[in-house]
Amino acid sequence: MSEIFDRTTILGAARYFQHCIRNGDIEGALSSFHDDAVYVSQPGTVVKGKADIRTALEFVCAMRPDLQAQRSVSFETGDIAAWLDEWTLKATMSDGVALDMNGTSSDIMKRLPNGNWVYLVDNPYGAAALADLPKDDA
């Protein structure tokens, strides 16, 4: 039985993306991004555009991780929304190393003319993306 996701809702769009990652569906996962999207593939590494996002997602999708959402909330204004999502990820990498990760994503989503929501900025690491950055001298 296949799951049906209402991508015209922010929650449905996010759950569709997670479903694609779990099932190794790179095309489905990539369809969850705006053409001009940016993706934080790891803290300190940002890729822009679907070609580079594809490369980053291929690594994740190949593992077919157990990616689960815990709690989430969105804040919408017109066709733009902030999306926060707690997640856990468990997987085994191709070299046999086990991954057991968790975090809180801090994302920006955009509603397309067809009504579907997509990621404009996908930062699965939230504030952890700040870890290696120098502090401002304000």
CATH number at residue 44: 3.10.450.50
Residue 36 domain boundaries: 10-127
- Domain presence at residue 3: no
The pLDDT tens digits of the residues spanning 71-114 come to 999 999 999 999 999 999 999 988 999 999 999 999 999 999 99
- Domain presence at residue 133: no
Q: Is the pTM value of this prediction over 0.75?
A: yes
**Interatomic CA distance for residues 91 and 7, integer angstroms:** 26
Using alpha carbons, select from 122, 100, 105 the residue that is nearest to residue 34.
122
Whether residue 33 contacts residue 119, with contact meaning beta carbons closer than 8 Å, is answered with yes
Query: How many folded domains does the chain comprise?
Result: 1
The answer on pLDDT for 50 being more than 50 is: yes
- Domain presence at residue 50: yes
